[in-house]
Structure 1
Amino acid sequence: MNDFALIWEWLSFAVRWVHVVTAIAWIGSSFYFIALDLGLVQRPGLPKGAHGEEWQVHGGGFYHIQKYLVAPASLPEHLTWFKWESYSTWLSGFALLAIVYYAGADLYLIDRNVLDVSAPAAILISIASIGLGWLLYDALCRSSLGKSDTALMLVLYLVLVAMSWGYTQLFTGRAAFLHMGAFTATIMTANVFLIIIPNQKIVVADLKAGRKPDPRLGQQAKQRSLHNNYLTLPVIFLMLSNHYPLAFGTQFNWVIASLVFLIGMLIRHYFNTVHARQGNPHWTWAVSAILFVVIMWLSTAPQVLTGERRASAAEERFVASAHFPAVRNTVLGRCAMCHAAEPGFEGIGTAPKGVELETDADIAAHAREIYLQAGLSHAMPPGNLTAMTEDERRLLVTWFKEAR
């Protein structure tokens, strides 16, 4: 198996799968502990130092859970630390970012009509923005602003809005959304790695040594955990955003990303309130629905023309290939009825994944996907509805291999 593109595609698939699995583990445990913490009840007879308890039923068994704000008088030998779910999610996510967006920078990361830079420069901008994002966030949390959770959250939201706009001025719409996810997830994982876990370890060490733990450590960790709580749902959307071209491929994509953060936070607030037994704020769903309608409208609002996309050297080779005229006829006859600005296939309103294959430039820009989806495999056309022949598939393979 010596086809590099095929091997790379399978590597991308494997890392993406790992990323999804670890994200489920992290977000699942996060959701559980948030609900558990908010549902704790203070009852008479609790052990000394216990803040609250909860009885739960699952899988045919009963669970009795008690929470200590600091720690009980004696700690067990073994403590389970919930940290690797977060670390693994970030590591696999960054690996996926490198495999898809850094290795395929000319196709997925750079839009030369937005910012004409080389691939190495775009990658450096990407990495620097993610790292600087954490430094800015951490500085705000440690400043006097951090004494007010509400004021801090408002300022942090404005930072997220600014970053949403900024990324759309640097990268493709698809990459901008993924970078907002990476930017936010880095803050969340750094909170765990640099604040929450280290603070907890200091508290445990102080208790074992007979020292009184500094209460500020717990307060700081709780504040960072609160931020992670409200950022969870927006991160899930941004992680999956490459499936939604109507969100990232529009003129107002940065506004849409900003509204997605609001919707995620509102829904999170609803569940937090219900789990804390403090009411049932149905208004959050109504506001979320209104914001979603606004997003729908923004996704189809008239766009400002930005000129034709500049082709890369690789794309020019694909067009210059002797096989290209036959490839063009195949793609236009078998694929373009769906992959078009105005699809002609019944039931399809927009081009799947935003991939349009109507011009030479379109076909060249998506040569790799055409090769993998319709050449090497029969994934496209779906169910071979347009009756693409084996000869046509072999043509696509030959064209790609000779021109790349």
Structure 2
Amino acid sequence: TYLVDKSRMDWAPSTAIAVALGFLAVFWLLYDLACRTFGQKKNGDAIVGVLVLGLVCVASWLACHWFAGRAAFLLVGAMIATAMSANVFFWIIPGQRKVVAAMTSGEKYDAAALAIHGKRGKQRSVHNTYFTLPVIFAMLSNHYSFLYTHEHRWVLLFVMMFAGALIRQFFVQRHGFHLGRAKNPWPFAAVGVVLIAAVIVALKPAPVAAPAAQAAPVTFAQVKQVLEQRCYMCHGETAQMKGVRLDQVEGVRTHAQGIFQQATVTRQMPLNNATQITEEERQWIARWYIAGAKID
């Protein structure tokens, strides 16, 4: 399973799957409890918002320390998306049905008693609005390995999700501001953009140092040995993921830049480091490529 990164948590796939499902269930239960406990009280929305931020922060830390990076990002996004779906299934639609049934029954109904369904439905709908951009970010994150392979990936995940919620607040409040019913929304957008800019700065790649003059040159035989042990499983005779085959000299020559990028720059491969490539072996590939990727 792509959930497991043995360098972080060496557990059985079935255990990893069970824990991942637990993330979805526990977040929904705690979020729903917070909404029911504080949602209709004074400053309830602010209290629930702070609690949700805390839950997402904790979940981001746990997921990124327990699971493979790319799986952790998707898992936190799926966790929030599950809450969005549950809001619709358990609160928004049932409440709406009760109100419509009472109003179309032809019998006298208590408008005050029915109002609570509208309040709860609106609250959950608003929450879903703020969840939208964080979930979209999580969905797209797997295309950008520099995010989920970063040393502080959980911080990047949380900050980007928080920035998404702030930017969403800007769009929510903008219309009301033009009508004179809401405060200026631009501070939310500004803070969101600043957070994204901070993430971009944090992700700036460090320059790749040229190999020391006294270091012995890395031969293709050394690189080939690394490829045999770490890469042939998915890029050999029996399997060629993405059409990349590295058990032939011509394939290595064609994909030399890709090997360098994936193994030493983005460090995305091997996937979840399933074949346990070492740091020294990554450096061999880097030195070989920088020296001209010569194939003896």
The CA distance in 2 between the partners of 1:335 and 1:316, in whole Å, is 14
C-alpha contact 1:134 1:186 (8 A) present in aligned 2: yes
1:212 matched to 2:212? The reply is no
C-alpha contact 1:341 1:356 (8 A) present in aligned 2: no
Return the TM-score normalized by structure 2: 0.71
The answer for the alignment partner of 1:237 in structure 2 is 137
Cα gap change, 1:331 to 1:294, in 2 (>3 Å): farther
CA positional deviation for 1:356: 6.3
Q: Which residue of 248, 269, 272 corresponds with 2:148?
A: 248
C-alpha contact 2:134 2:165 (8 A) present in aligned 1: yes
C-alpha contact 2:166 2:192 (8 A) present in aligned 1: yes
The CA distance in 1 between the partners of 2:233 and 2:269, in whole Å, is 20
CA positional deviation for 1:212: 2.3
CA positional deviation for 1:110: 0.7
The CA distance in 1 between the partners of 2:129 and 2:139, in whole Å, is 16
Cα gap change, 1:265 to 1:258, in 2 (>3 Å): same
- C-alpha distance after superposition, 1:317-366 (max 9, x if no partner): 6799899997164443222313325899xxxxx55x93469x99489xxx
Cα gap change, 1:322 to 1:249, in 2 (>3 Å): closer
The CA distance in 2 between the partners of 1:322 and 1:197, in whole Å, is 51
The CA distance in 1 between the partners of 2:236 and 2:258, in whole Å, is 25
Matches within 5 A, 1:265-276: 265-276=165-176
The CA distance in 2 between the partners of 1:360 and 1:253, in whole Å, is 19
**Corresponding letter in the other structure for 2:73:** F
The answer for the alignment partner of 2:187 in structure 1 is 283
C-alpha contact 1:111 1:172 (8 A) present in aligned 2: yes
RMSD: 3.5
The CA distance in 1 between the partners of 2:19 and 2:58, in whole Å, is 16
**Corresponding letter in the other structure for 2:58:** A
- C-alpha distance after superposition, 1:114-147 (max 9, x if no partner): 1101111111111121112111111111114652
CA positional deviation for 1:284: 2.7
Q: Which residue of 236, 255, 261 corresponds with 1:335?
A: 255
The answer for the alignment partner of 2:196 in structure 1 is 292
Structure with bigger RCO (C-alpha 8 Å, 6+ apart):
2
The answer for the alignment partner of 1:310 in structure 2 is none
Matches within 5 A, 1:5-44: none
C-alpha contact 2:133 2:165 (8 A) present in aligned 1: yes
C-alpha contact 2:231 2:246 (8 A) present in aligned 1: no
The answer for the alignment partner of 2:216 in structure 1 is none
The CA distance in 2 between the partners of 1:194 and 1:176, in whole Å, is 26
The answer for the alignment partner of 1:398 in structure 2 is none
SS at 1:165's partner residue?
A: helix
C-alpha contact 1:339 1:356 (8 A) present in aligned 2: no
- C-alpha distance after superposition, 1:44-97 (max 9, x if no partner): xxxxxxxxxxxxxxxxxxxxxxxxxxxxxxxxxxxxxxxxxxxxxxxxxxxxxx
1:132 matched to 2:132? The reply is no
The CA distance in 1 between the partners of 2:73 and 2:118, in whole Å, is 33
Q: Which stretch shows the higher mean deviation, 126-135 or 270-279? A: 270-279
Query: Across the two proteins, how many residue pairs are aligned to each other?
Result: 240
The CA distance in 2 between the partners of 1:156 and 1:260, in whole Å, is 15
**Structure showing the higher strand proportion among its residues:** 1
The CA distance in 1 between the partners of 2:165 and 2:239, in whole Å, is 51
The CA distance in 1 between the partners of 2:133 and 2:187, in whole Å, is 18
The CA distance in 2 between the partners of 1:360 and 1:319, in whole Å, is 14
1:111 matched to 2:9? The reply is no
C-alpha contact 2:263 2:269 (8 A) present in aligned 1: no
- The runs of 4+ residues in structure 1 deviating greater than 6 Å are 314-326
Matches within 5 A, 1:2-401: 105=1, 108-144=2-38, 147=41, 148-209=44-105, 210=107, 211-213=109-111, 214=113, 215-276=115-176, 277=179, 278=182, 280-300=184-204, 327=247, 329-341=249-261, 350-351=265-266, 354-355=268-269, 361=275
CA positional deviation for 1:288: 2.0
